[in-house]
Amino acid sequence: MSNLNKELDLSLLRLHDLLESRWLSPEKVFSAADENGDGHITSDEFTLFLSTLGVSAWSEQDSRDIFNHFDESGDGEIDLKEFEDKMLQISQVAKKKVTYQKVDPIPVDESTRFVSLVAHNEMKSVLLKFVEEQRDFFSQVPLVTTGSTGKSLQQRLGIPVERLVASGPLGGDQAIGGMISENRISAIFFFKDPLSSHAHAADIEALTRLCDVHQIPYATNRASAIGLLMALQEFGLDWHMDSDENSILNKYNQGQSQVIAAVGQSK
């Protein structure tokens, strides 16, 4: 982007941020813009797609300049490789806008309660952007994340991760679920990709079920994450420990006590 004029640079970065906030990967954007499904995007298709995003502030000239930037071959059409290559370049420029110093890790012990950060592959950039916006908060609380998400946080934002677990499909979701059962999790930010299927869907369902059982607040998208963040900032990581015991869990434990007592009497 170094050879482009400043106005076009800003438009391209704005497009990048807009698509990222809508959870749209380059491949999904291309598929949505390719109205006739022929594997190429024409100028008219591109302009129409921008209008569906609600980009009314851009003039026809702006749209044309952006299209020409993606059309590297100059044949009047954009193919998938051209689009992905250009989006990667824009993404790399966007990531270089700010450089953060590393934050010191937070001391943890057996009583430490963590905030969990998890994201599907298509949502990692959205989660990272959210954490970047709220860096002051997330750099001051103990974090547990799946491996790839944690490495991205440390490398890009300089935020230490106190505990790393495996990626979701390899058991990371189950590991975090185990921490919930041990009362080691205060909240979970799990940015889900709602438009793709996942091989570990059963693990994801089990994790969110445990959140409901143990009354752990969790957010699955940026909008709900903002609400959860506000609650944590207001009440702290231990806010729900002062509330009444979960009636569903209490009823289950009472039932299990009766089962155990009945088994003991039968002997």
Q: Pick the catalytic residue: 173, 193, 238, 242?
A: 173
State the amino acid at position 17 in one-letter form: D
Spatial distance between the Cα atoms of 146 and 15, rounded to a whole number of angstroms: 29
45, 53, 76 from 18: Cα distances, Å = 18, 9, 24
**38 labelled catalytic:** no
Catalytic residues, which ones? 173
